[in-house]
Amino acid sequence: QQPVQSPQAVILREGEDAVINCSSSKALYSVHWYRQKHGEAPVFLMILLKGGEQKGHEKISASFNEKKQQSSLYLTASQLSYSGTYFCGTERAGTDKLIFGTGTRLQVFP
């Protein structure tokens, strides 16, 4: 079953922050985050493996709450290049399938 992301869309001014949530109805082994520009392949941002794990990548960080089966992506001081659609990808223990969430479309304006 596909993870649900919220919000569906976000509009930001440069320098503003945003949070994107990913929620699964099934137990998760790991969570991936990707960003996709229109007509292009998704680009890997980060992977979180353990419950409670947090990771950072420049001004983009994420957390993973294994018990709640949720992950959040934090975008701080957004840049124009952050625009795109963000997908979480989840995998369950014992399977190497990556199932993508519903997606969050992010637009950053000057």
Partner 1 sequence: GAVVSQHPSRVICKSGTSVKIECRSLDFQATTMFWYRQFPKQSLMLMATSNEGSKATYEQGVEKDKFLINHASLTLSTLTVTSAHPEDSSFYICSARVDRENTEAFFGQGTRLTVV
- Chain residues in the site for partner 1 (CB under 8 A): 2, 29-30, 32, 39-42, 44, 47, 49, 87, 89, 91, 96-103, 105
Distance, CA of 96 to CA of 51 (rounded, Å)? 18
Nearer to partner 1, 72 or 104 (CB): 104
Least distance to partner 1 from the beta carbon of 63, Å? Answer: 18
Distance, CA of 38 to CA of 55 (rounded, Å)? 26
Least distance to partner 1 from the beta carbon of 12, Å? Answer: 19
Least distance to partner 1 from the beta carbon of 15, Å? Answer: 27
Distance, CA of 14 to CA of 101 (rounded, Å)? 25
Q: Is the distance from CB of 72 to CB of 17 less than 8 angstroms?
A: no
